[in-house]
Amino acid sequence: MELAAHVEDRSPRGIAAAIARLVRSGELRPGDRLPTVRELAAELAVSPATVSGAWQALSAVGLVVSRGRAGTYVLPEPAGWLPPSYRDLAGEPAPGATRTRAPRLDLSTGTPDPTLLPALGPALARVAARMPAADTDTYVSSPTIPALEALLRASWPFVPARITVVDGAMDALGRTLEQVAGFGDRVAVEDPGFPPVFDLVEQLGLERIPVPIDRHGMRPDALAAALRAGAGVVVLQPRAHNPTGVSLTSTRARELAAVVRRLGTERDVLVIEDDHSGEISSARPVSLGTWLPGRVVHVRSFSKSHGPDLRIAAVGGPAPVLDRLVARRMLGPAWTSRLLQHVLVDLLTDGAALDSIAEARRAYYARQRALCVALAGHGLSVQPGDGINLWVPVHDESTALVRLAAAGIRVAPGGPFQARADQPAPTTPGRPGGHVRVTVALLRDDVAAVARLLALAAAP
């Protein structure tokens, strides 16, 4: 089919709309391969970036999928409720494919060990005793209870003009991006990075600019290139980076802040920090906000430390951004349950709960290092990171996933974590095939057996 003949509007939106019409009419069917970006750009006499923008928009709504050098293909109409990258991480089978049997050990989830979360029962009982009835005069009260705000301010890595709480880290990132970026704006993201952030950026109509990282975090030279390319927002993880476990050093944070100061003078570049692991991270809290007052929004989640179902993340930063965020939220959920906020205050001040968090932090640290030592015994050198995930290099990603699945182990594929969807995963010397992400949080025993199977899966 000559796709160019069906395109009337040659903007990214127009190209995407034309392809979507062809898919819905049945003229393009699931499994059909689309032209390459350069081929269609040449036929339409537009820039490759224009066609790439259309492809990204179609991918964001689940109409097409990019398979790197293999090309871009039409997908069946999405039937699920998960965004594309979430589906990839969850191991959802392709439409029409048979779902595989549940693994005996699922190390793909990126979730904390439920046995290491603090007990909620005592906290709920204490809060219920102090608050026998729900507050009623709260519709226009502050969305953050004073006791929680005081605790957050005392532990924040810089002095924020405003601080509030929302329903998890992704909620915080999405609401912040909505306030500071408009359709078509460019956002610098880590490469590799967290796939749902890529989904979020695309859903908001933004263009992501991948910024490579090294063992200290975002590379200053790569961030400088992204800012020169027009990025007005930078999204990064200051510690326990997902998937690599890397944490920013103070030196690297200062270097990145210097880049933003130097190249962001003509426009107000904003940095959004996603401290998703929070209290279970072994690294010290570091923020660019120390050197960039008024230009950093810092997010701290309590999901991995205190429980994903609390759905609480704190957001602190400049007043113009946070005030707009809170005002917009007042027209939706308005506030995060104050009952849950009181529960979190109790957990942040109760001795037994504090001991539980400290024990979880020690356990995750030990599990990271135990697995790395065991892998080294099989000739596979992996640098231990912070938090609950380990980024393991493999010779061939698909082969590694199949070998592990055959042994009853599920890990997360590395491909979805690559910010450059149109390119193969970056190589590691001696291991050209990419990575898999292993959630060490759930590795309570059998470390030696799992290490042996990982090393076999990673081999040529």
Q: Do 383 and 371 form a contact (C-beta atoms < 8 A)?
A: no
| Cα separation, 429 vs 152, whole angstroms | 43
Lowest mean pLDDT among 65-79, 116-130, 395-409: 65-79
**pLDDT average, residue stretch 219-223:** 97
**pLDDT average, residue stretch 53-73:** 81
pLDDT digits (tens, 9 = 90+) for 282-308: 999 999 999 999 999 999 999 999 999
pLDDT averaged over the chain? 89
- Identify the residue with better confidence: 419 or 138: 419
DSSP state of 431: B
* Token pair recorded at residue 88: 């990839």
What is the DSSP secondary-structure string of 232-257?
Answer: EEEEE-SSS-TTT-----HHHHHHHH
Q: For residue 156, what pLDDT is reported? A: 97
The 3-state DSSP class for residue 400 equals: helix
Unique residue bearing structure tokens 């005996």: 104
Helix and strand numbers (H, E) in the chain are 16, 14
| Cα separation, 206 vs 10, whole angstroms | 18
pLDDT digits (tens, 9 = 90+) for 166-213: 999 999 999 999 999 998 899 999 999 999 999 999 888 899 999 999
| Cα separation, 449 vs 459, whole angstroms | 16
Task: Give 4's pLDDT tier (boundaries 50, 70, 90).
Answer: confident
122 Cβ contact partners less than 8 Å away, ≥ 6 residues apart: 350, 352
Q: For residue 337, what pLDDT is reported? A: 92
Side chain identity at 376, as an amino acid letter?
A
Distance of CA 92 to the CA centre of its chain: 18
Q: For residue 21, what pLDDT is reported? A: 87
| Cα separation, 344 vs 329, whole angstroms | 21
Which of 358, 397, 393, 375 has the alpha carbon at shortest distance from 449?
Answer: 375
pLDDT digits (tens, 9 = 90+) for 426-436: 433 333 569 99
List own/partner pairs for 196-200 with CB under 8 A and 24 or more apart: 196/83, 196/85, 196/86, 196/89, 196/170, 197/170, 197/173, 197/235, 197/274, 198/85, 198/419, 198/421, 199/60, 199/83, 199/84, 199/85, 199/86, 200/170, 200/173, 200/174
Side chain identity at 389, as an amino acid letter?
N
Give 73's strand partners: 33, 65
Phi–psi pair at 73, nearest 5 degrees: -125, 150
CA torsion through residues 317, 320, 325, 330, sign: positive
With a cut of 50, say whether residue 32 has pLDDT above it. yes
pLDDT digits (tens, 9 = 90+) for 228-246: 999 999 999 999 999 999 9
Domain made up of 119-350: CATH architecture: 3-Layer(aba) Sandwich (3.40)
| Cα separation, 173 vs 38, whole angstroms | 33
Q: For residue 243, what pLDDT is reported? A: 97
**pLDDT average, residue stretch 85-101:** 55
Lowest mean pLDDT among 69-73, 130-134, 209-213: 130-134
Lowest mean pLDDT among 43-52, 163-172, 382-391, 414-423: 414-423
274 Cβ contact partners less than 8 Å away, ≥ 6 residues apart: 169, 172, 173, 194, 197, 235, 236, 237, 238, 299, 301
Instruction: Please compute Rg for the chain using Cα positions.
Output: 23
With a cut of 60, say whether residue 443 has pLDDT above it. yes
With a cut of 50, say whether residue 98 has pLDDT above it. no
Give the strand order in the sheet containing 217-218.
162-166, 313-317, 296-301, 270-275, 231-236, 186-191, 207-214, 217-218
Task: Give 137's pLDDT tier (boundaries 50, 70, 90).
Answer: low
Task: Give 134's pLDDT tier (boundaries 50, 70, 90).
Answer: low
**pLDDT average, residue stretch 381-394:** 96
Q: For residue 83, what pLDDT is reported? A: 73
At the topology level of CATH, where does 105-114+353-458 sit? Aspartate Aminotransferase, domain 1 (3.90.1150)
pTM of the model: 0.81
| Cα separation, 230 vs 264, whole angstroms | 10
With a cut of 80, say whether residue 370 has pLDDT above it. yes
At the topology level of CATH, where does 3-78 sit? Arc Repressor Mutant, subunit A (1.10.10)
Unique residue bearing structure tokens 């994903």: 308
CB neighbour class for 31 (10 Å; exposed up to 12, middle 13-18, buried from 19): exposed
Q: For residue 130, what pLDDT is reported? A: 86
Domain regions of the chain by residue span: 3-78, 105-114+353-458, 119-350
CB atoms under 10 Å from CB of 72, counted, come to 22
Q: Do 167 and 312 form a contact (C-beta atoms < 8 A)?
A: yes
